[in-house]
Amino acid sequence: MKKCIIMIAVLLIMTVFTACGKTENPVWLPEREDIISIGVSDGDKLAFSPNTAEEATAFIDAFYAILSDMKMSNMESITDTPVNQDYITISLNCHDTVTTLYYYKDKNTEYVEQPYQGIYIPKSSLEEKIEELYRIAEQNPPVAVTFQAIVLECSDTSILAEPVEGSLELDSAGQFHIPNIEGTQLQAGDVIEIAYDGSIMETYPAQLGEVYSITLIKQAKADSMRDKIE
């Protein structure tokens, strides 16, 4: 009898500690008033919230409301990107930061993943809003944003560049990792102009959303190249 009482007491204590150990990790979102646009991309297609102020406000309000009303799943996020390969990247774009989330479906259940924070289940369908964004994009092609940067490193597939002084992109990140979409031959010190969709990913080095073109503006001088090597 005494042993039974001890075992029951131990089980109760373990249950209490287990309950205390379970922590809720709600999705971290910027304040609604800080969001200026929402972008989604599946790697091939890219879309943004409406351009007009009234339509943009209504859409962002509805999208944000869904993200704010999600429940925790029983899964954890332990990688930079989802294990599920068929995901869509969601970018909540503010004036100086971008919050990145990932959306995907598994066995007809919708999930939103925030790396290392948690995996959530929207209570309302987010898929409909994402499809609406793609419809908007088909009707209104995105306008390219351009800035100039100095090449730090270059290969056939990628470029590491530093935005020039005075560019808005420099306020977001000191370096950008950019896909060398045309395999352009560049060298350290070259000044290039980059046209992209206006979205910046929260990685290190930072990455741009979709790059449309890279143009050589000014070639590095031999002396400046020698200084960089030394």
- Boundaries of domain holding 204: 145-221
What pLDDT score does 142 carry?
62
Contact between 71 and 120 under an 8 Å Cβ cutoff? The reply is yes
Contact between 153 and 93 under an 8 Å Cβ cutoff? The reply is no
228 domain-assigned: no
Take residue 140 and report the two structure tokens written for it: 């209104």
6 domain-assigned: no
Same domain, 116 and 174: no
Scored b (16 or more CB within 10 A) or e, 26-50 reads ebebeeeeebebbbbbeeeebbbbb
41 domain-assigned: yes
Same domain, 99 and 170: no
Q: For the chain, which ranges sit under pLDDT 50?
A: 10, 15-22, 224-230
Span 147-157, pLDDT tens digits: 999 999 999 88
Span 156-175, pLDDT tens digits: 889 999 999 988 888 888 99
129 domain-assigned: yes
Collapsing DSSP to helix, strand or coil, 228 comes out as helix
Write down the pTM of the prediction: 0.57
43 domain-assigned: yes
The DSSP line for 84-114 is SSS-EEEEEEESS-EEEEEEEEETTEEEEEE
What pLDDT score does 132 carry?
93
14 domain-assigned: no
Q: How many structural domains does the chain have? A: 2
Same domain, 121 and 158: no
